[in-house]
Amino acid sequence: MTFLDMLQGAMARNDSLLCVGLDPEPRRLPGALRGDARRIYDFCAAIVDATCDLVCAFKPQIAYFAAHRAEDQLERLMQHMRVSAPHVPIILDAKRGDIGSTAEQYACEAFERYGADAVTLSPFMGFDSIEPYLQYPGKGAFLLCRTSNPGGDDLQAQRLASVEGQPLLYEHVARQAQGPWNRNGQLGLVVGATYPEEIARVRQLAPTLPLLIPGVGAQGGDAAATVRAGFTAEGPIIVNSSRAVLYASDGEDWKEAARAAAQATRAALNAARG
């Protein structure tokens, strides 16, 4: 089963456009877990169990594990998700962007070591930085396109005078991903929820690609505007919320609060798509 097959299946089964991002910060863990990096797995596994029937994907961010020497806990978490939620695809948020043999090793890390179904990539070095990931049949790769941070304008909103029509850089990335780079139908794009107009523009340029849309919740993205801008019958959207779900409560009710936050976000997204 390919990543896209899993994604469509999870969307239908769980009636959801919601992706829960797994970004564990030990200092923000609730109750007795707080400050203990050895409990990252326990926290994330509980979040997965509380929300696995509400989401279309999970997105662990590798830096939150590696910074605390918790890669072994990430491996355990990936295994747990396979058992607890085998129908939900896993997007490893790594934003890798190297080339050649280094990119091959990063692809091996994402797909063989951790067993992810998809990975996030930075396309700044061109197709060379993407191709090694496409050697894994059925796996997905999401390219940074129009990110939600203000500094994204520094490059993404610049015009390319050397390209016909002088598109903005993010527009060029969208066209390449929809067209010549997408040799095996494995690519998607990352577009921030804080820029609904740009989501709509990316969807126009890449009508069939899945869009991974972070920024709903703690980052201020509007769920309804995001869905209106990006959702179509041909092009799926995966709307990520991390902190608003993970840290919905720091009390004893943190699991229930995380589930309630995920339910509310899923409901808002579904209402927006009608």
Ramachandran area for residue 268 (φ above 0: left; ψ -120 to 50: alpha; else beta): alpha
Judge whether 243 and 252 are in contact, CB under 8 Å.
no
Q: How far apart are CA 192 and CA 188, in angstroms?
A: 13
Position 223 scores a pLDDT of: 81
Range of the domain at 105: 3-273
Domain count across the chain: 1
Tell me the sheet residues that pair with 59: 21
- Decide the pairing of beta strands 57-60 and 237-241: unpaired
Position 103 scores a pLDDT of: 98
Judge whether 155 and 169 are in contact, CB under 8 Å.
yes
Identify whether 139 is a catalytic site residue.
no
Amino acid at 143: L
Position 216 scores a pLDDT of: 73
Structure tokens at 241: 């919320």
Structure tokens at 249: 């409560």
Residue with tokens 């494995």: 186
- Active-site choice (59, 95, 139, 255): 95
Amino acid at 261: A
Reading the chain (274 residues) residue by residue, the pLDDT tens digits are 899 999 999 999 999 999 999 999 999 999 999 999 999 999 999 999 999 999 999 999 999 999 999 999 999 999 999 999 999 999 999 999 999 999 999 999 999 999 999 999 999 999 999 999 999 999 999 999 999 888 999 999 999 999 999 999 999 999 999 999 999 999 999 999 888 999 999 999 999 999 999 977 655 568 888 899 999 989 999 999 999 999 999 999 999 999 999 999 999 999 998 7
Q: How far apart are CA 22 and CA 246, in angstroms?
A: 8
Position 220 scores a pLDDT of: 56
Q: How far apart are CA 20 and CA 54, in angstroms?
A: 9
Residues 6+ apart with CB under 8 A from 183: 134
- Decide the pairing of beta strands 18-22 and 237-241: parallel
Alpha-carbon torsion angle 107, 99, 22, 197, nearest 10: -130
Here the CATH number for the domain that contains residue 136 is 3.20.20.70
